[in-house]
Structure 1
Amino acid sequence: MKKLLMLLFAAIYLAACGGGGQNNSAETPKTNTDAKTENGNPSYDPNRGEGKFTKVEVGASLDVAMADNGEKVYGVKCGSCHKLSDEKLVGPGWKGVTSRHTPEWIMNFVTNTDEMLNKDPKAQAQLEICLVRMPNQNLSDDEARSLYEFMRKNDGVK
């Protein structure tokens, strides 16, 4: 009985290991048409408009209603990791963020965090400081825009 169990275990083990290194997958290999940097990572040009947001219209004065909605989003999805000062909590503090980054960059980052962390040099540099990847908060476009307006309010825009 023990021999039968050992034989059955060995057969299952071999089947689970993929059969000697052959690729039995029917999946077509993925090709990466992006250029590569010298270290093998995909190249990234932050000005080529890869993100969803390529032009964000921002008024000279604050949209108070939108900023209020953004404050609610901050309270639910952002406040546990980000302070409104320049002090780092888990993530960086938000003071001055709208002067350090464009509206398009911020909105692309908060709505497509993983892609930005994988390709964008500014996002990668921030990750090296914080050491924690920002989780995808699944923000809608409207939530992201409201959040950006709240960031502007936090930075003193009236």
Structure 2
Amino acid sequence: MKKLIVLSLVVFFIGFLVACGGNKSSDNTADESTSEEVKTDENPSYDPQRGEGKFTKIDVSATLDAEKAELGNKVFQVKCGGCHKLTDERLVGPGWAGVTERREPEWIMNFITNTDEMIDKDPKLQAQLELCLVRMPNQSLTDDDARNLLEFMRKNDGVK
């Protein structure tokens, strides 16, 4: 009789754990489907050339602003260099070589300052996330820091 009671308690306990785990899983599924709906609703208005953010037109001259590039290098050393290389090699995130040739200045500035929204809306960033497996954190950069980083990226890509 004791064996039957113990067995019943074990079965009840396992059933309880599975039931609780099932509720948690269904909550996550609901959250994921909600975020998918938001992505689907917002993507038609997303501009893949400019990205999502306040920067609509960035004026870059044909020549490099060396002072901004040097300030951008300092930002890179503190906030970016732990995850990105200046070559095309991936570290944690993708390498920076050629980024200013592949992306518009507005897109780069919007991504640097509006990271989360860009990742949520940009299909190419979502594909990159699948490769890197680590979501870029929002570094809380100022507009000036972002502009200096853009100039540093341009220098890295050979603009003189």
Q: Match for residue 88 of structure 1?
A: 90
What is the CA RMSD across the aligned residues, in angstroms? Answer: 2.1
CA distances 1:63-85 after superposition (whole Å, capped 9, x unpaired): 00000000000000000000000
> Post-superposition shift, 1:122?
2.1
What are structure 1's unaligned runs of at least 5 residues?
Answer: 1-35
Q: Match for residue 27 of structure 1?
A: none
Q: Tell me the amino acid that sits aligned with residue 105 of structure 2.
A: P
CA distances 1:4-61 after superposition (whole Å, capped 9, x unpaired): xxxxxxxxxxxxxxxxxxxxxxxxxxxxxxxx69x85632421577421010000000
| 1:7-156 aligned within 5 A | 40=40, 42-44=42-44, 45-46=46-47, 50-156=52-158
Give the paired residue count: 123
Pick the structure with more helix per residue: 2
8 Å CA contact retained: 2:65, 2:151: yes
Instruction: Name the % identity.
Output: 67
Return 119-128 or 145-154, whichever deviates more.
Answer: 119-128
The 1:120/1:40 distance shift into structure 2, 3 A limit, reads: closer
TM-score, scaled relative to structure 2: 0.71
Q: Tell me the amino acid that sits aligned with residue 138 of structure 1.
A: S
CA distances 1:72-127 after superposition (whole Å, capped 9, x unpaired): 00000000000000000000000000001110011100101000000112221211
TM-score, scaled relative to structure 1: 0.72
8 Å CA contact retained: 2:109, 2:150: yes
